[in-house]
């Protein structure tokens, strides 16, 4: 029976480089997914646009709407 040999130095270097590239790709993919998830969550937290006037210019000092903007 033949004894199992260790891979040669160059083969081991190539294997380590391949594993390093795979790890980098995996981390980049996770980072992109994480960034995409955070962006989606931030959009969900934005308040929706409302139909009520928020401008102070449209309101008179008494809190009534001006005649330029009738209901």
pTM for the whole structure: 0.48
Three-state SS at 59: strand
**What per-residue confidence (pLDDT) applies to 47?**
58
Residue-wise pLDDT for 7-51, tens only, equals 899 999 999 999 999 999 999 999 999 998 888 888 777 555 555
Q: Give me the residues paired with residue 3 across strands.
A: none
d(CA 39, CA 6) in angstroms, rounded, equals 47
Q: Which 8-state DSSP code applies to residue 31?
A: H
Residue 52 has pLDDT above 60, yes or no: no
**What per-residue confidence (pLDDT) applies to 7?**
83
**What per-residue confidence (pLDDT) applies to 4?**
77
């Amino acid at each position: 029976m033949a004894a199992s040999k260790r891979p040669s130095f160059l083969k081991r270097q190539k294997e380590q480089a391949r594993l390093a590239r795979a790890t980098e790709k995996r981390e980049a993919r996770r980072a992109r997914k994480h960034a995409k998830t955070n962006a989606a969550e931030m959009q969900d937290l934005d308040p929706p646009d409302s139909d009520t006037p928020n401008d102070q210019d449209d309101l008179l000092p008494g809190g009534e709407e001006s005649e330029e903007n009738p209901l």
